[in-house]
Structure 1
Amino acid sequence: MDWKLFVTTFATLFVAELGDKTQLACMLMTAETRKPWTVFFGSSLALVTVSFLGVMLASFICQYVSPNIIKKVAAAAFVVMGVLIFFDKM
């Protein structure tokens, strides 16, 4: 296992997810249901599944598309989303 990659991935996703809407949704669900372990296991499984799908899709796409093109498309998508959010269209 590439421990440097593992730690970098963990740290990047940990910081990115800290305080986002997913964490807030988990907090709200736990507060409403008072079942923290059920919410924890459900949200953990959802995040693992989404991460798995992202990694598998990236593995497939990278066979046919250059990583530079993927970065540029992702950057453009984030800019478009940012503009839409800025103008309250999203």
Structure 2
Amino acid sequence: MSQLLAIFVTVFLAELGDKTQLATVLFASERQTSPLFVFIAASGALILSTALAVLLGTAAERWLGFLPLKLLAGIGFILVGLFTLAEHFRASTA
């Protein structure tokens, strides 16, 4: 049960403010589109993309099981964060 909660919280927090959520807000703000339709379509898209990620992750584990994937992913996120900070400071000084 704790793994389920950890996965839920991690994905939920990762999706907050994500570009897919912002796109969903834009679709929901249109008066021509039913909010229920936006919810169903966005939920279906998230379910399908999550299913694809699980399938790819399962397949990748078979071939990349010997690599420290969590470490590599963490380093990747740190690098993206550093790049984002560098771009912020570069833009504010220009």
TM-score category, normalised to shorter length: 0.7 to 0.9
Shift of 1:34: 3.9
TM-score between the two structures when normalised by the length of structure 1 = 0.74
Which structure 1 segments of 5+ residues have no match?
none
Shift of 1:15: 1.1
Identity of aligned residues (%): 33
Partner of 1:41: 40
CA RMSD of aligned residues (A): 2.4
- Measured in 1, the distance between the counterparts of 2:66 and 2:41 equals 32
Aligned length: 87
Secondary structure of 2:64's aligned partner? coil
Q: 1:12 aligns with which of 10, 13, 20?
A: 10
Partner of 1:26: 24
Counterpart of 2:19, as a letter, is K
Greater Rg by CA: 2
1:35-61 CA distance string (max 9 Å, x none): 111110000000011111111111111
Partner of 1:65: 64
| Pairing 1:69-80 to 2, within 5 Å after superposition | 69-75=68-74, 77-78=76-77
- Measured in 1, the distance between the counterparts of 2:66 and 2:49 equals 20
TM-score between the two structures when normalised by the length of structure 2 = 0.71
Which structure 2 segments of 5+ residues have no match?
88-94
- Measured in 1, the distance between the counterparts of 2:14 and 2:21 equals 11
- Measured in 2, the distance between the counterparts of 1:85 and 1:8 equals 26
